Structure 1
Amino acid sequence: MHKILLVIHVIAATVALVSGMFAILARKGRGVHTGAGLTYYASMYGTALSAVIMSVMKWNPFLLSIGIFALYLVYSGRKAIWYKRLKAPYTPALKDKLAAYIGLATGTVMLGYPLYQYSTHSGPAFSVLQVFGFILLLYCLRDLQLLADPRNFTPHNNKVWLPRHIGAMGGAYISTVTALLVVNVHFSPGWVVWLAPTAVGSVLISRSIARIRPRRAHTPATTE
């Protein structure tokens, strides 16, 4: 069973890397971007879910946390587009916030687990896992903040969701690239391989979001 899941994981990750690149490079909007994005969304779920299941079968809390990290970002990025396309006012329910609460719990564990290992003399006090945990906590706290503001769910006034979509989907893609490099690139010190995609990807994501914000700033405000 584990071998079957591993094959599924590798195939899904490969599809995610290719389709994600098409979605990034394609002109934004309906068409290639949407088609590639949906493929990326589905394949990332396959990648992350298979990683979570394998980490439970052969207990690996590190892989489990990273799998949940990727799942949350893909979920959050997809929901952001759903919120952006609302045609009527919407009030978020518990189901909309549940994933963020699970993400908060996971991020807290990712921050604390290396400290537990250090207390038992089985690992260092600091780990790249804590970096990803901190990023996940920031994402979840920001999502909860956005979900608490009714103005973000008024049609034509939900301007926060496109940048949110770009950030979350881009973050999930970074996690996939990171996993690929960690498995195939052997470099010392190892933390460089873990954190380099995050450093480079974060700059590219920030630039993409910055390009759309000036245009949106000049959009006339709608009156109710």
Structure 2
Amino acid sequence: MYKAILFFHILAGTVALGSGLVAIFATKGRNNHRRSGRIYEFSMYAVAVSAILMCLLKFNPFLLAIAVFSLYLTYTGKRALFYFRLREKYQPGFPDKLPAFAGLLTGMFMIGFPVWQMLQSGTFFVPVLAVFGSGLLGSSIGDLFTFRKPELFGPNNKAWLLKHIGMMGGAYIATVTAFLVNNVHMQQQWLVWIGPTVVGTVLISRAIRTWRGKLKLQASKKTVGFSGEKL
């Protein structure tokens, strides 16, 4: 059973890599982007769920934490589109907040577990898991504070579109990292873990800046009349 789930996990990860790449380069808002994005979303769910099932059969705290991390990023990235497309005020409930609480607990584990390992072994090593855990912890805390601001859950809040870019981009970083870790082996293996995050974060930040500029330009055009003067 473990081998069967592993095969499914690898297959879903391959689909996620391909569909995610198509979604990144496809024109945003068009059918190609929507379709590839939908395939990417469900393939990432399949990757995370299959990883959790493997951990139940053969416990691996590292794999379990990364699986929950990927699941959190994918779900919140997709959920951000729901908030972006709101047509009326929305009151977030417990189902909206549950992923943030799960991310908070998982992030604390991802930081605490390698620290506990170092204390037990008496040796120092690069806590790669803690690096990812810090990002997850910070994002989860930020989401919980967001839910305390009802004014953000109004119609057409474009900040959620930027959130979508950041979270989905983060999920793709996790996918690329998993692929490289399983196929690239070197003495400084921590570089394989951290490299995609460093490069991906720079690219995501650039994309967010670009889209923030586009959204500001669109907003300014809507406030200008035929005479060119602001209404």
Using the size of structure 1 for normalisation, the TM-score is 0.94
- 3-state DSSP of counterpart to 1:173: helix
- Distance in 2 of aligned mates of 1:197 and 1:126: 16
2:227 aligned partner: none
2:54 aligned partner: 54
Residue range with higher mean Cα deviation, 113-122 or 174-183: 113-122
- Distance in 2 of aligned mates of 1:90 and 1:124: 48
- Distance in 1 of aligned mates of 2:122 and 2:67: 23
Letter in structure 2 aligned against 1:70: S
Deviation at residue 126 of structure 1 after TM alignment? 4.2
- 3-state DSSP of counterpart to 2:88: coil
2:186 aligned partner: 187
Letter in structure 2 aligned against 1:134: S
Question: Residue deviations 1:34-70, cap 9 Å, x none?
Answer: 0000000000000111111112211110000000000
Question: Residue deviations 1:177-200, cap 9 Å, x none?
Answer: 001001100122111100000000
8 Å Cα contact 2:44/2:74 also seen in 1 = yes
Deviation at residue 82 of structure 1 after TM alignment? 0.7
1:51-200 mapped onto 2 (5 Å cutoff)? 51-121=51-121, 124=124, 126-156=126-156, 158-200=157-199
Deviation at residue 147 of structure 1 after TM alignment? 2.1
1:42 aligned partner: 42
- Please tell me whether Structure 1 or Structure 2 has the larger radius of gyration of its CA atoms: 2
User: Structure 2: 5+ residue runs without aligned partners?
Assistant: 224-231
Deviation at residue 139 of structure 1 after TM alignment? 1.3
Question: Residue deviations 1:133-172, cap 9 Å, x none?
Answer: 001011111222222211211113x121011101111101
Using the size of structure 2 for normalisation, the TM-score is 0.92
Letter in structure 2 aligned against 1:180: F
Q: Percent identity?
A: 48
CA RMSD of aligned residues (A): 1.5
Deviation at residue 9 of structure 1 after TM alignment? 0.2
2:229 aligned partner: none
Deviation at residue 125 of structure 1 after TM alignment? 5.6
Which stretches of structure 1, 4 residues or more, deviate above 6 A after TM superposition?
none
2:226 aligned partner: none
User: Structure 1: 5+ residue runs without aligned partners?
Assistant: none
